[in-house]
Chains A and B, each alone.
Chain A
């Protein structure tokens, strides 16, 4: 059954989404470049579970818009605690991770559901 897999993903999604609050105003801006980050997001395969826009899905939680602050984001990517495979510094250098975070930060907020006729 596909359901347990979806279930597991949603458990992860719930856990991470709970931590996805807007970044505090005092947090330093990411040093990364969003355009570079977009390319890395694709080449490293982040989209496979999280979608090209970081919107999330059955296999992985939403990453954007409003991603985790970089410190927490980096910590989870390096040593994930659930189904996500680890992305160590050996395969994704810190600088690349900053670019990816910058890409996620750059994703615009979606329209409100109330403004989309198909979702009313």
Chain B
């Protein structure tokens, strides 16, 4: 865009030009007001009528806009991708990314909704372990993104958000740009991001951009927002600024370990316990977290309950006793909670009846140990922090980083007697695991040939196609009764990515695309079990997958409803006893049924369905898989039982 001598948005942002642009532009038309200036009480002249800067000294081009320097910073932070639904409030940096930055590191990802952009970044992080950048348009784009940002916040996942804005009111284009500008852009999402800033100069941007990355990546990890002013992006880098521009060095913070005294006390409790139980939720930030949990569990031969916020523990490990969580919790004398979202809910029951009630599930005297980085950072407005847990040892620390010290402390305390007891315990759990495996297969036979297709059958059919591949379940939305986790063998960190965090519907499809994008360079087969209601939030992400050639097998868990809500309405109807047969009103997705295969085809994705007969499912999956193996997305629409 054309810039004007002497007065630009940077000057405004620096706090200059407050007395009116005309007074600062010598020789401009606007500098000669048509009427005599009045005198303000402080002596400053008051122009009779505010006027914009002159147009007769325009410079129409620049070869070094501020956006280029912003790209230098993004490159220094090693972003692979930047996801965005394009918007004029960041047109400057957009152009810098694709031309100055050659559209590489970061590469621009074209998205159809900002909620998709952020959820893609959410899924991507959980495979790749580093953030994806997201560009959000001023006001409207960030508001579109808000729900997905909240999911990432609740899930303790860093997303690096750059939000466009035009702060200098005198430089805004009339009309839409005003509606897309805001005084305090990040305020819209400040309650559920970890940090934000609104830089007023390029050096300020440089520091804030690097600082934001560091903060986002320090446990507890969360999204961050850096507002990028339109003027900073588009205007030439001023000579006096250029000489002091530099890229700050990033040094990420070491995740905090638990206090050594608390670690020793936790080890003592665990080693002396008769029935210790380890519960893990958002523990394994990295593959090392999984390895470390196996080491601790085996040092104690203690059962592990994986609440699956992350891929914490191999599903086939004999100490994975997640299926017996109820009895294990009830009989435990020591419970170690690792990055639990809800420790209170883990040790309590809550009855959703007319008179809500709760009770403890644990024996009196059971000792509770908590290690969570969430204790290091809390906000008050949004209530994702759950009920207050009364624990005996609370380590405000990153659990993954603390596990090596805890395991070492446990090993030091294990005597021969305790080791023998541990081995006996291990043998019992191996037997229990074998019995559970048989029970799961027996249970899967129920409704095996039913139509709609049972979720167990669907999971078994998918498993048959992928079990010999290097696969990754990048998302699982819509609640299919956990059959994938019961029938498949999850042994690698990237094979399960956890869920949305905030339970904001619409996460599944875009998170799957983001996860699949991260998996692509490793040649992994990405699989998504996709709820129908979730996909309808922003199905355009299928087009993004097709456009960017992201291989992903999406299998629809299409129960033709927002099924969770059906059950809630049924519960209310039962409670109020004035008819219980109208649960479908406002909850079902039928009449007409959504033809997801056609939707996907229309967005450029290979698709089949609806599959209503179980025997047709295997061949359809095979055909779709052949497409995915060629490097493209494919979708199979399966009409399923509700759960």
Interface of chain A: mostly helix, strand, loop or mixed: loop
Chain A binder among B193-201, B448-456, B518-526:
B448-456
Q: Among the listed A43, A53, A118, which residue makes an inter-chain contact with B446, where contact means beta carbons less than 8 Å apart?
A: A53
Is B272 interfacial (CB-CB < 8 Å)? Answer: no
Chain A, 103-120, contact with B by CB distance < 8 Å: what is the 0/1 string?
Answer: 000000011110010110
Which A residues lie within 8 Å of B487 (CB)?
119
Chain A binder among B141-149, B339-347, B411-419, B420-428:
B339-347
Q: Among the listed B450, B499, B574, B641, which residue makes an inter-chain contact with A57, where contact means beta carbons less than 8 Å apart?
A: B641
Chain A binder among B13-21, B40-48, B437-445, B592-600:
B437-445
Which B residues lie within 8 Å of A53 (CB)?
446-447, 450, 454, 641
With the chains together, A92 CA to B575 CA distance in Å? 13
Which B residues lie within 8 Å of A14 (CB)?
326
Which B residues lie within 8 Å of A48 (CB)?
563, 566-567, 570, 583, 642
Contact B445 A59 (CB under 8 A): no
With the chains together, A4 CA to B482 CA distance in Å? 12
Interface residues of A in 68-103 (CB under 8 A from B): 82-83, 85-88, 90-92
Is B393 interfacial (CB-CB < 8 Å)? Answer: no
Contact A51 B643 (CB under 8 A): yes
Contact A58 B481 (CB under 8 A): yes
Q: Which of B345, B447, B455, B567 has the most CB of A within 10 A?
A: B447
Contact A44 B581 (CB under 8 A): yes
Is B460 interfacial (CB-CB < 8 Å)? Answer: yes
Contact A55 B479 (CB under 8 A): no
Contact B442 A113 (CB under 8 A): yes
Chain B, 449-478, contact with A by CB distance < 8 Å: what is the 0/1 string?
Answer: 010101110001101100000000000000
With the chains together, A55 CA to B457 CA distance in Å? 12
Contact A92 B580 (CB under 8 A): yes
| Given A51-B643, A59-B643, also A3-B447 (CB < 8 A) | no
Contact A51 B454 (CB under 8 A): yes
| Given A1-B499, A7-B325, also A116-B448 (CB < 8 A) | yes
Is B257 interfacial (CB-CB < 8 Å)? Answer: no
Q: Which of B309, B346, B446, B461 has the most CB of A within 10 A?
A: B446
| Given A48-B642, A58-B643, A85-B574, also A1-B446 (CB < 8 A) | no
| Given A11-B326, A118-B461, also A47-B446 (CB < 8 A) | no
Is B496 interfacial (CB-CB < 8 Å)? Answer: no
With the chains together, A7 CA to B579 CA distance in Å? 29
Which A residues lie within 8 Å of B450 (CB)?
51-53, 55
* Shortest distance between the CB of A93 and any CB in chain B (Å): 12
Range of interface residues on B (Cβ < 8 Å) = 35 or more
Q: Among the listed A10, A43, A83, which residue makes an inter-chain contact with B326, where contact means beta carbons less than 8 Å apart?
A: A10
With the chains together, A82 CA to B242 CA distance in Å? 68
With the chains together, A111 CA to B449 CA distance in Å? 10
Q: How many of chain A's residues have a CB under 8 angstroms from any CB in B?
A: 41
In the complex, residue of chain B having the shortest beta-carbon distance to the beta carbon of A118: B460
Which A residues lie within 8 Å of B443 (CB)?
56, 62
Contact A4 B499 (CB under 8 A): no
Which B residues lie within 8 Å of A92 (CB)?
580
Contact A110 B447 (CB under 8 A): yes
Contact A47 B642 (CB under 8 A): yes
Is A16 interfacial (CB-CB < 8 Å)? Answer: no
Q: Which of A14, A47, A85, A112 has the most CB of B within 10 A?
A: A85
Which A residues lie within 8 Å of B641 (CB)?
47, 51-53, 55, 57
Contact A3 B308 (CB under 8 A): yes
In the complex, residue of chain A having the shortest beta-carbon distance to the beta carbon of B282: A1
Is A19 interfacial (CB-CB < 8 Å)? Answer: no
| Given A7-B325, A53-B447, A85-B571, also A2-B479 (CB < 8 A) | yes
Contact B445 A86 (CB under 8 A): no
Contact B583 A111 (CB under 8 A): no
In the complex, residue of chain A having the shortest beta-carbon distance to the beta carbon of B459: A118
Is B349 interfacial (CB-CB < 8 Å)? Answer: yes
With the chains together, A92 CA to B570 CA distance in Å? 13
Contact A1 B454 (CB under 8 A): no
Q: Among the listed B326, B446, B583, which residue makes an inter-chain contact with A7, where contact means beta carbons less than 8 Å apart?
A: B326
Is B351 interfacial (CB-CB < 8 Å)? Answer: yes
Contact A111 B446 (CB under 8 A): no
Chain B, 324-363, contact with A by CB distance < 8 Å: what is the 0/1 string?
Answer: 0110000000000000011001100111110000000000
* Shortest distance between the CB of A115 and any CB in chain B (Å): 9
* Shortest distance between the CB of A110 and any CB in chain B (Å): 4
* Shortest distance between the CB of A11 and any CB in chain B (Å): 5
| Given A48-B567, A58-B479, also A90-B342 (CB < 8 A) | no
Is B281 interfacial (CB-CB < 8 Å)? Answer: yes
Is B307 interfacial (CB-CB < 8 Å)? Answer: yes
| Given A49-B567, A111-B445, also A1-B479 (CB < 8 A) | no
Contact B445 A2 (CB under 8 A): no
Which A residues lie within 8 Å of B383 (CB)?
none
Q: Which 9 A-B pairs have the closest CB atoms?
A: A55-B446, A85-B574, A57-B643, A110-B445, A53-B447, A57-B481, A55-B447, A58-B481, A113-B441
Query: Residues of A at under 8 Å CB distance from B?
Result: 1-4, 6-8, 10-11, 14, 43-45, 47-49, 51-53, 55-59, 62, 82-83, 85-88, 90-92, 110-113, 116, 118-119
Instruction: List 20 extra interface pairs beyond A48-B566, A119-B445, CB under 8 A.
Output: A1-B307, A1-B308, A4-B345, A7-B325, A10-B325, A10-B326, A11-B326, A43-B581, A48-B570, A49-B567, A52-B641, A52-B642, A57-B643, A59-B642, A59-B643, A111-B448, A112-B445, A116-B448, A118-B463, A118-B464
6 contacts between A and B (CB under 8 A): A2-B479, A7-B326, A51-B641, A110-B445, A111-B445, A113-B445
